[in-house]
Structure 1
């Protein structure tokens, strides 16, 4: 197995504060046969010189310098340098467990899989969160065939849309570029990859540390966040074409996202002063109401929100706000939380 090479791609932009932690977690892997492809996406800080210093010390490191083009463009540039049999993506403010590559490689070979995904930690400065609603550290790995994989991808619960946290056969992804100039580029990409996957494995052990910066999505919301909806709609066209029987699953994910983004636009009125984008979401929901209504039959909470929204969007906004307040005052039970664990770097 030591002859099997794994290419690890790290897109880098304005992460001078975090880059050492990320790169050193990759250099220190228990599995040695790596290409470590560090793509400096025109970072204006010292990241470029930092990774050049790493390259002087470790012959496995390949440094790419390019003009700033965004995360997708940086990943695509990294893919051009891949020589490994397998590929992994690591975001430059995240880090990985020192045995992640070895663990995933063992699993992908043993199961003859095309892709293997590990669980992950939401990593904060002084603690970690593990999603024990979706994963269980004591459970055996889960093997998905193509049909069940795509259904789980649409739910985005156990099978995540994220490009990171997975090990891919290079042949599966080498000719599927990431879409440029969009946020949430993984949503535009993942379903195209998964269509090619015959066997997909989920490992419950958290091996990836997904760093959570302190910025709130509410306070930092912008209209670019609506790219997420564009990605889901583009994916839905794909689902209708290739997985017609999963159309309701796709509609549910779109409806949930529409309701969330409507509320975020309401909370960020400065981003949509004329109400143009809120109205576009409302119109989209009402134009597809019968499809959403059918899709929401199996989800009581979603069905209730759709009914309230159809009466008037603000009724649903008020309902969600009142429920949040009631939970804060402990008048109703809080939602099941995530497992908090000690930070291990």
Structure 2
């Protein structure tokens, strides 16, 4: 195997408790030709000093210290310094299996793939969860051409919108910056990258540990979380221009996320003054009702939710509540969930 250099970009902010585990998992990879770019995003704890110490002990490490600008800005700074043939993004509270990079590079070279994605664990303090609904870890890799890839990206089941967990050819991404100032920045970014991909490969073995922090930005709800709907709508305009056959699937993604966030806003009424954000969601659904109805004709549940929501949003809340009770009492079967594995590190 040709040992092309891999640039690993790690944005760092307030992760003093986790940063050693992350960095050690990268430095201990079976693939040695690495350039590890640690971006200290103005972290107020000891992360900057920790990164600097690693820089002294391993010549493969580069450290960037900058004023706080958010995850997107930190990734963008790291990308500017990347000199490898390949690039990976690793979030600083996550960690890798020690053969992850070698496995992804081998796969990229064997299949001539611009992007390779591995399966991953949802890593909790006391357990690991694995989504094995669509594959078994011993299954052969799956190759996707551009059309199949974009479909999978839009439905977000096998191909995830996450920037992490993938190995990219650096030339593919180095002129596509992450959008600053938004949450769920990957949703704004991924479709722009995937449009350029001719061959994408899915590895089914879980090689990345996605740590579930209860103090993370996605664990405490605020209206800023509505950025994900903004990102899906921006992607929808892109889909209409370049992949018109996926328009209905894109509408489904927006509608499903709108229902989720409407209900979250109900649970956090104090953060939605005068219900303005809920009204915005209602207005979008009302204005696009007929397009949305056409999009969900083959999805019984979403079709029912849309109808009930159009009568009154609380009817959809009631429907979901009744369905939850019926599943708890086994009147309805529970949806297929995640497989629990051994305890996390």
5 Å-filtered alignment, 1:246-257, equals 246-257=246-257
TM-score normalised to the size of structure 1?
0.97
Q: Which runs of 5+ in 1 are unaligned?
A: none
CA contact (8 A) 2:41 2:70 kept: yes
Provide the residue aligned with 2:46 in structure 1.
46
5 Å-filtered alignment, 1:85-234, equals 85-215=85-215, 220-234=220-234
Change (3 A) 1:141 1:218: closer
Change (3 A) 1:340 1:184: same
Task: Say which SS state the counterpart of residue 81 (structure 2) adopts.
Answer: coil
Provide the residue aligned with 1:82 in structure 2.
82
Provide the residue aligned with 2:15 in structure 1.
15
Task: Say which SS state the counterpart of residue 213 (structure 1) adopts.
Answer: coil
Task: Say which SS state the counterpart of residue 274 (structure 2) adopts.
Answer: coil
Provide the residue aligned with 2:292 in structure 1.
292
CA contact (8 A) 1:121 1:208 kept: yes
Change (3 A) 1:219 1:202: closer
Provide the residue aligned with 1:314 in structure 2.
314
Deviation at 1:200, TM superposition (A): 0.2
Change (3 A) 1:77 1:108: same
CA distance in 1, matches of 2:329, 2:189: 41
CA distance in 1, matches of 2:218, 2:61: 38
Q: Which runs of 5+ in 2 are unaligned?
A: none
CA distance in 2, matches of 1:199, 1:257: 29
Change (3 A) 1:142 1:89: same
CA distance in 2, matches of 1:23, 1:227: 30
CA distance in 1, matches of 2:337, 2:256: 20
CA contact (8 A) 1:218 1:264 kept: no
CA contact (8 A) 2:122 2:211 kept: yes
CA distance in 2, matches of 1:3, 1:51: 26
CA distance in 1, matches of 2:114, 2:277: 40
Number of positions where the alignment pairs a residue of Structure 1 with one of Structure 2 = 345
Deviation at 1:217, TM superposition (A): 8.7
Deviates more, 1:135-144 or 1:15-24: 135-144
CA distance in 1, matches of 2:43, 2:217: 23
Deviations 1:4-51 (A, max 9, x none): 100000000000000000000000000000000000000000000011
CA contact (8 A) 2:16 2:46 kept: yes
Structure 1 vs Structure 2 CA RMSD: 1.4
Deviation at 1:132, TM superposition (A): 1.0
CA distance in 2, matches of 1:112, 1:11: 28
CA contact (8 A) 2:123 2:344 kept: no
CA distance in 1, matches of 2:335, 2:343: 23
Deviation at 1:232, TM superposition (A): 0.4
5 Å-filtered alignment, 1:18-37, equals 18-37=18-37
Deviations 1:158-184 (A, max 9, x none): 000000000000000000000000000
CA distance in 2, matches of 1:231, 1:115: 22
Deviation at 1:219, TM superposition (A): 7.1
Deviation at 1:326, TM superposition (A): 2.8
